């Protein structure tokens, strides 16, 4: 009997989890050295296949730029490995001999990983490396429109792992993914942790699964070009960042906010770098292509080139156009240019001053990017700190390309393809998720401090006794005052209080 697609997908998922669970029980007995050798082999193999996998991703998804996906694959393999290779993740990871506390790491078990269509191969590399580094097995659910390139990436990783001595089934996947299979994967009793990178619905499902989960929110990243910035350099970085892989990284800038004092200079530099400014009529045509409903971006523009999007909108633009821009003065679900657009399409806002710019950036983040990232170009470090405190984000990128700076390519942030949004975005972590988030820590703690435990009722009896003594002493004072002429009653009271205090201390 032939199973239908959904049933086949669910059965494949169950088989993968069963194998992963069995493999992980064996894998968690491996030494740190052995696990590290397997992780290194995977990173090396993935890095060497980065170019082929990048091309495969573009061919299958129709999104992005092969040369840019190559760079993302290199970050997801080599850079991620370099950032985690020396970390202790197995057994005793720290000993505080002075305070007599020993920390022991232990893995979650089987990690369910959800992979997006925008960054399919690099995310698969990253999640595999970090999961195995922490002693876990992994089962991956690819995006249906990126299943071939994602599975091919996992096959490269699995083959390298097997050749280094990893147990069969340690890296598993669903080759024909379905929404039902993905949902059941997240609630499977043998799955212990979820790493979800994808749309809002999947992230909510991950957090509703009853499992520990790392999910990420959307990024509607504003970039503020402040009047003290090096305009020529800043604009070049912003354009390079926004057009990187046709805007498919969630940390990519989505709207430019520029000071009025440098507005014309910024506009000229944008045009010099291949940006096309839409007139009023062209803007209306673009709005119809960008959004298919309030707050909803047209998936047909995601990861497409500026020329392709202009064609969809019926615009006649120069052949060297890299970026489509429209000047905007409103923010909202019904304002298409203000939404998160994973494509080379920009809104340009003009601010009167830094306070005006701050309010505009907050509007954009509150529309759909809370918790993710904010970008600023300025030479004023005081302003950086001011905006850093004010913005409801987890990353503030300064004078760099936000898209790849947030994932650690141009900054010292942990290389990661899963960027936590913290409490601002309803996520459990605000970190760039990496290996240290994928293991637990138990602690052995010796007693190093003494504690005197009060006996029940003893204090109550002491208080009652003191009250009785105090009453008797007051009575004695009154009698002595009545019996003795010329004696200072105040002095007697002071003497009585002193005696009572000494009695209480002795008790």
Active site residues per annotation: 250
How far apart (Å, rounded) are the C-alpha atoms in residues 173 and 153?
11
Burial bucket for residue 230 (CB in 10 Å: 0-12, 13-18, 19+): middle
Residue 437 neighbours by CB distance under 10 Å: 21
DSSP letter string, 436-471: GGSEEEEEEE---S---PPPTTHHHHHHHHHHHHHH
- The two beta strands, 253-259 and 371-377, are unpaired
398 within 8 A of 237, measured Cβ to Cβ: no
262 within 8 A of 235, measured Cβ to Cβ: no
491 within 8 A of 477, measured Cβ to Cβ: no
How far apart (Å, rounded) are the C-alpha atoms in residues 350 and 288?
23
Q: Where are the beta strands (DSSP E) in 124-179?
A: 137-141, 171-173
Tokens read off for 165: 């001595």
Q: Could you tell me which residues are beta bridge partners of residue 345? A: 324
How far apart (Å, rounded) are the C-alpha atoms in residues 126 and 432?
12
Tokens read off for 37: 């050798």
How far apart (Å, rounded) are the C-alpha atoms in residues 129 and 45?
12
How far apart (Å, rounded) are the C-alpha atoms in residues 337 and 316?
19
How far apart (Å, rounded) are the C-alpha atoms in residues 319 and 309?
13
DSSP conformational letter for 75: I
| 165 phi-psi bin (left φ>0, alpha ψ -120 to 50, beta other) | left
- Main-chain phi, psi angles of 296, to 5 degrees: -115, 125
DSSP letter string, 239-308: HHHHHGGGG-STTSEEEEEEEGGGHHHHHHHHHHTTEEE--HHHHHHHHHHHEEETTEE-GGGTT--HHH
How far apart (Å, rounded) are the C-alpha atoms in residues 332 and 291?
12
**Which residue, 212, 222, 151, is CA-closest to 186?**
212
């Amino acid at each position: 009997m032939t199973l239908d697609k959904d049933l086949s997908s669910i059965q494949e998922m169950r088989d993968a989890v069963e194998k992963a669970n069995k493999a992980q029980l064996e894998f968690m007995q491996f030494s740190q050295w052995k696990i590290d050798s397997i992780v290194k082999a995977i990173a090396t193999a993935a890095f060497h296949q980065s170019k082929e996998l990048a091309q495969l991703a573009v061919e299958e998804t129709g999104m992005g730029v092969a040369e840019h996906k190559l760079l993302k694959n290199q970050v997801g393999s080599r850079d991620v490995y370099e950032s985690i290779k020396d970390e202790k993740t197995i057994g005793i990871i720290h000993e505080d001999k002075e305070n007599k506390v020993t920390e022991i790491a232990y893995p979650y078990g089987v990690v369910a990983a959800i992979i997006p269509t925008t960054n399919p191969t690099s995310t698969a590399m990253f999640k595999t490396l970090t999961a195995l580094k922490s002693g876990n097995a992994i089962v991956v659910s690819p995006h249906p429109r990126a299943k071939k390139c994602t599975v091919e990436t996992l096959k490269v990783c699995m083959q390298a792992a097997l050749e280094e001595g990893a147990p069969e089934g340690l890296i598993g996947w669903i080759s024909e993914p379905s929404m039902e299979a993905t949902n059941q994967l997240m609630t499977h009793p043998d799955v212990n942790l979820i790493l979800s990178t994808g749309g809002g619905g999947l992230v909510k499902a991950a957090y509703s699964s009853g499992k520990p989960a790392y999910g990420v929110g959307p990024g509607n990243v504003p970039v503020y070009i402040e009047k003290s910035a090096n305009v020529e350099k800043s604009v070049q970085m912003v354009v390079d960042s926004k057009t990187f892989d046709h805007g498919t990284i969630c940390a990519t800038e989505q709207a430019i906010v520029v000071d009025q004092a440098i507005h014309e200079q910024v506009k000229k530099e944008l045009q010099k770098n291949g940006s096309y400014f839409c007139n009023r009529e062209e803007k209306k045509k673009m709005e119809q292509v960008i959004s298919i409903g309030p707050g909803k971006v047209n998936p047909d523009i995601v990861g497409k080139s500026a020329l392709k999007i202009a064609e969809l909108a019926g615009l006649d633009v120069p052949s060297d156009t890299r970026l489509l821009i429209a000047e905007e003065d409103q923010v909202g679900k019904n304002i298409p240019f203000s939404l998160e657009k994973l494509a080379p399409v920009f809104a340009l806002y003009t601010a009167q001053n830094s306070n005006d710019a701050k309010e505009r950036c907050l509007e954009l983040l509150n529309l759909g990017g809370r918790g993710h990232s904010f970008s600023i170009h300025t030479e004023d470090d005081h302003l950086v700190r001011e905006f850093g405190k004010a913005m409801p984000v987890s990353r503030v990128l300064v004078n760099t390309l936000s898209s790849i700076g947030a994932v650690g390519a141009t900054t010292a942030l942990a290389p990661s393809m899963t960027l936590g949004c913290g409490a601002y975005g309803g996520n459990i972590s605000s970190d760039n998720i990496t290996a240290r988030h994928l293991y637990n820590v138990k602690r052995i703690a010796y007693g190093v401090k003494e504690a005197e435990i009060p006996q029940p009722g003893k204090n109550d009896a002491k208080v009652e006794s003191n009250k009785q003594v105090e009453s008797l002493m007051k009575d004695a004072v009154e009698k002595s005052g009545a019996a003795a002429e010329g004696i200072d009653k105040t002095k007697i009271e002071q003497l009585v209080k002193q005696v009572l205090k000494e009695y209480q201390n002795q008790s």
